[in-house]
Structure 1
Amino acid sequence: MADHLACTLLIAGEALTGTGRESQDVIDPATGEIIGSVPHATAADLDRALEAAERGFRTWRGTSADQRTAILLKAAGLIRERSAQIGEALTREQGKPIKEAIGETLYSATLLEFYAQEIKRIYGRTLVRPAGQRAEVQYHPVGPVAGFAAWNFPSLNVMRKIGGALAAGCSTIIKPSEETPTAGIALVQALIDAGVPGDTVQCVFGVPDVVSRHLLASPIIRKVTFTGSTAVGKHLAKLAAEDLKIATMELGGHAPVLIFADADLDAALDTMSANAFRNAGQVCVSPTRFLIEEPVFERFRDGFVARAKAIKVGSGFDADSAMGPMASARGLERMEQMIGDAREHGAQVLAGGERIGNRGFFHQPTVLSEVPESAEIMNEEPFGPVALLNPMKGEDAMIEEANRLPYGLAAYAWTKDPARRRRLAAEVEAGMLAIDTGSVSAADAPFGGIKWSGYGSEDGREGVMACMVTKTVHEG
């Protein structure tokens, strides 16, 4: 067992082990073997973290903007220096190819660098008033923030929870996933090593519902931010509403991909086939429902199937692996159940469709064609390596199907028609729309959804302002 998988809590600047605490096994998804354990915080631990967060907020908000910027930039540098080690642990715990794991960690540093500079761009404004009077709009940090991060991007999801909060002047308590704990611990440790007070940024683990109820019941916490399923997001939003806490919810999706007859099909195929199976499809913005205009359906279908069959699946540490295992046994079981249901409803399996071997949680890249609307997989996010390809009669039908579900996180479209691009931007219901590109994320761009995909934004200026409150000051 590698030393770097010995996990701790980080409370008030102190690393706490599992001694005297319940713990949870960490599983290598490539082998199914236990590779470490993560301690669960006790009620006393959580109370201590809350008290520290209250102190840490007072300290951090009183630290000058220049000093906070310098500390966060130093932390970003430490994350870059440690990216290979963090990426190795991330791959071992989550399964994704090592290049993707290191890339995710480096992107987390990039995001922190953006947030560090944004500290100096939190501007208020002066309102026009008669002579002798004055009115200002000011922005102040909301207070201690509780963040809950998902397992699919163990580094990036954590940074999205704590980076904007720290830039705003807030203290944070982050709970990474117990299944993928190491990257979150490493990011928090880098921040502490760079000079963020241990009271200001803390890391805890435990049974998710127990930890969330405990933290959100406290009046010390003034904001909650969560990445995960819509069902859990609704639950946390209700808990937050009981104390009128501000909330950011980045929830599930089921992204449509609109492929029009005038698209550059080769570019669309290369880009979207890679995106569909990135991180074994365990991506909230993963393109899943491909809505393909009838004149090019067969060409796109055949090209997509060929690309899916060519994907090399294997351990994330194998240099030629383009896709690693799924992160857990339950995800694998969910894939098998949803694909089986689609078969029963008449869907054609054109590639994959089966588990690979019986060691670890590997699944074939899967392509289903002509999937009826009645199939579960057309209505619920599969969160696995599967793409659904259906022919469509034209733009109106494609937009209608794109908007049919209650989810609205990401959407994609491929067309050369400028007028159509403008119509899609106006009519497709999603928090993020990518046209002729596979990317919906950038450090300076807000990331978030609408409808059942949540509310509020991370990244960009919006990720900082989501941790601020507005105050208007009137002077006579």
Structure 2
Amino acid sequence: MYEQYGLFINGRWIPGSASAEVISPVTERPLGRVPMATAAETGEALDAAHGALAKMRELGGFGRAEALHKAADEMIRRSDEAARMICAETGKPIAQAGREWMLACEQFRWCAEEARRIYGRIVDSRVPGGRFEITHEPVGVVGAFSAWNFPAALPARKLAPALAAGCPVVLRPSSQTPGVAMVMVDCLRAGGLPDGAVNLVIGSTGNTYAPIMADSRVRKVSLTGSTRIGQQMIRDAADTVKKVSMELGGNAPLIIFEDADIEAALDLTVGTKFANCGQVCVTPDRIFVHDSLYDAFVQGFVSRAARIKLGDGLQADTGMGPLINASRLDEIESIVAAAVNDGAKVVHGGKRPAHLQSGFFFEPTVLVDVRDDMRVFSEENFGPIAAISRFSTEEEVFARANASNMGLSAYAFTRSPDRARRTVAALNAGMVGINSFALAAAEAPFGGTNHSGMGREGGSEGIADYLDTKLAQLVF
């Protein structure tokens, strides 16, 4: 299924010097083989990107906008192919895969329009007859690293703003889900960007990451990944003083206040928690429910979780697919076992489904009697585990929600506008949803604080992260 693609370097697909298998999380059998770049091939991609800098500048904002719109047109045309690729590589239900691809399309549409609106400004100077001109220029070659859990949305959040700003990109997607990035890059090829503006390499850390980070021509790196990897990338970027954008881990709190619309909260929370088998950095990990609603909330959560059908994402009635690989499955099993050992109670799920003989499946799981010091609560679990705890007062729950070094997202359900505003102000997070989990949109800045990262993807802020500011003092 990867044969027509390969590595993409300087405007053409090449087969690469080596290859590796991609494994289906549904069948545990190979989907196919993908090329793995050598260090020399990554160097060729970096050379091509550097050579495209001048061409991207000459193209200008309007030219780049036109190319990105053409690429988005091609992405729309190939939506079915892309959704099926996402489904095959991640196992997520086909409807979720289709929505993800459309989010990626919207990134290119939005950034195409923003490319025409990279404005400067003029400021009066103190020098007689002078003025300051403030302009914005592309930062330079970008190294982009994306994770496996959203193999279309995450590369799009990096490629679209970088290209709109005029920055050539070397993209390294996850080797577990490379095919979706290949389809996206092929759509960009069809958009007519200059050769070298987009390059794709897949491979080991030594052959891809290391050359990108060591190259002084790479002026910006963007990562979606774990906090541990982000910390290492920041250290490595310091050697050549690269700009960095980091969208790292999360450990999102969700607060269900006593005045919440409990049915709406349950419907939205269950669907969000188990989307992509819980492998979502912004999913609610720590669910705090007011004493007065606790029993009803748990009962409603379990009844809804019980209706979720596990299986192959290509089947229309599948509600949840598998985890990405065997090690992730073992990790989730370990987290649940540790929680039970520490006193938590499994009220639904908690094990591998007996009726599925292959695939990395784990049942939608609901834990109660959870304490804040348990691993399932204090760390990002990145799986289909809903950990629920009770609270009594607003002051208490704000303190508990903020007792984390993560700060990506946070959520609350309340009918009170005043309480909603207090909650937004009180929670330490880059994004807060009130009666909603819909934070990811092309027009909105996505990102976190503290150990959840730095920089933003989306909105005008997303493109600003790929621009340098230049000041000129003109006196006549």
The TM-score bracket by the shorter chain reads: over 0.9
User: 3-state DSSP class of the match of 1:390?
Assistant: strand
Alpha-carbon shift at residue 373 of structure 1 (Å): 2.5
1:8 aligns with 2:6: yes
Structure 1 residue corresponding to 2:133, chosen from 122, 133, 136: 136
Measure the CA separation in 2 of the matches of 1:368 and 1:199. 50
Aligned twin of 1:119: 115
Measure the CA separation in 2 of the matches of 1:76 and 1:36. 27
Alpha-carbon shift at residue 5 of structure 1 (Å): 6.2
Q: After superposition, where does 1:300-315 map in structure 2 within 5 Å?
A: 300-315=297-312
Deviations 1:419-474 (A, max 9, x none): 21111111100010000112111111000000110000001111100000111111
Aligned twin of 1:473: 472
1:429 aligns with 2:428: yes
Q: After superposition, where does 1:105-254 map in structure 2 within 5 Å?
A: 105-129=101-125, 131-208=128-205, 210-254=207-251
Measure the CA separation in 2 of the matches of 1:391 and 1:272. 16
Alpha-carbon shift at residue 210 of structure 1 (Å): 4.1
Measure the CA separation in 1 of the matches of 2:420 and 2:84. 41
TM-score for both structures, normalised by structure 2: 0.97
Aligned twin of 1:262: 259
User: 3-state DSSP class of the match of 1:205?
Assistant: coil
User: 3-state DSSP class of the match of 1:140?
Assistant: strand
Measure the CA separation in 2 of the matches of 1:101 and 1:445. 21
Measure the CA separation in 2 of the matches of 1:313 and 1:5. 30
Letter in 2 for 1:123: Y
1:29 aligns with 2:25: yes
Aligned twin of 2:325: 328
**Kindly, what percent of the aligned residue pairs are identical?**
39
User: 3-state DSSP class of the match of 2:463?
Assistant: helix
User: 3-state DSSP class of the match of 1:463?
Assistant: helix
- For these two proteins, the number of residue pairs brought into alignment is 472
Letter in 2 for 1:74: K
Structure 2 unmatched ranges of 5 or more: none
Deviations 1:356-380 (A, max 9, x none): 2340111100000111223211111
Measure the CA separation in 2 of the matches of 1:242 and 1:440. 34
Alpha-carbon shift at residue 43 of structure 1 (Å): 1.4
Aligned twin of 2:340: 343
User: 3-state DSSP class of the match of 1:62?
Assistant: helix
> Over aligned residues, Cα RMSD in angstroms?
1.2
Measure the CA separation in 1 of the matches of 2:270 and 2:386. 9
Structure 1 unmatched ranges of 5 or more: none
1:45 aligns with 2:41: yes
Measure the CA separation in 2 of the matches of 1:351 and 1:208. 39
**Alpha-carbon contact 1:250-1:454 (below 8 Å) kept:** yes
Alpha-carbon shift at residue 49 of structure 1 (Å): 0.8
Measure the CA separation in 2 of the matches of 1:7 and 1:294. 55
TM-score for both structures, normalised by structure 1: 0.97
Alpha-carbon shift at residue 42 of structure 1 (Å): 0.8
Alpha-carbon shift at residue 40 of structure 1 (Å): 1.3
Letter in 2 for 1:16: I
Aligned twin of 2:56: 60
Measure the CA separation in 1 of the matches of 2:44 and 2:304. 52
Structure 2 residue corresponding to 1:76, chosen from 56, 72, 78: 72
**Alpha-carbon contact 2:5-2:13 (below 8 Å) kept:** no
User: 3-state DSSP class of the match of 1:295?
Assistant: coil
Measure the CA separation in 2 of the matches of 1:445 and 1:116. 15
Measure the CA separation in 1 of the matches of 2:337 and 2:15. 43
Letter in 2 for 1:157: L
Measure the CA separation in 2 of the matches of 1:218 and 1:175. 15
Structure 1 pair 409–5 and aligned structure 2 pair: CA distance change class (3 A): farther
**Alpha-carbon contact 2:165-2:466 (below 8 Å) kept:** yes
Alpha-carbon shift at residue 107 of structure 1 (Å): 1.4
Aligned twin of 1:85: 81
Alpha-carbon shift at residue 127 of structure 1 (Å): 0.6
Alpha-carbon shift at residue 198 of structure 1 (Å): 2.8
Deviations 1:66-88 (A, max 9, x none): 21111100100100100100111
Letter in 1 for 2:185: V
Measure the CA separation in 1 of the matches of 2:264 and 2:382. 24
Deviations 1:42-96 (A, max 9, x none): 1110111111110111111221222111110010010010010011111111101
User: 3-state DSSP class of the match of 1:26?
Assistant: strand
1:380 aligns with 2:398: no
Measure the CA separation in 1 of the matches of 2:181 and 2:439. 23
Alpha-carbon shift at residue 208 of structure 1 (Å): 3.1
Alpha-carbon shift at residue 185 of structure 1 (Å): 0.8
Query: Which ranges of 4 or more aligned residues in structure 1 deviate by more than 4 Å?
Result: 4-7
Deviates more, 1:293-302 or 1:57-66: 57-66
Structure 1 pair 5–16 and aligned structure 2 pair: CA distance change class (3 A): closer
User: 3-state DSSP class of the match of 2:99?
Assistant: helix
**Alpha-carbon contact 2:147-2:174 (below 8 Å) kept:** yes
Letter in 2 for 1:29: P
Aligned twin of 1:412: 411
Measure the CA separation in 2 of the matches of 1:81 and 1:101. 15
User: 3-state DSSP class of the match of 1:121?
Assistant: coil
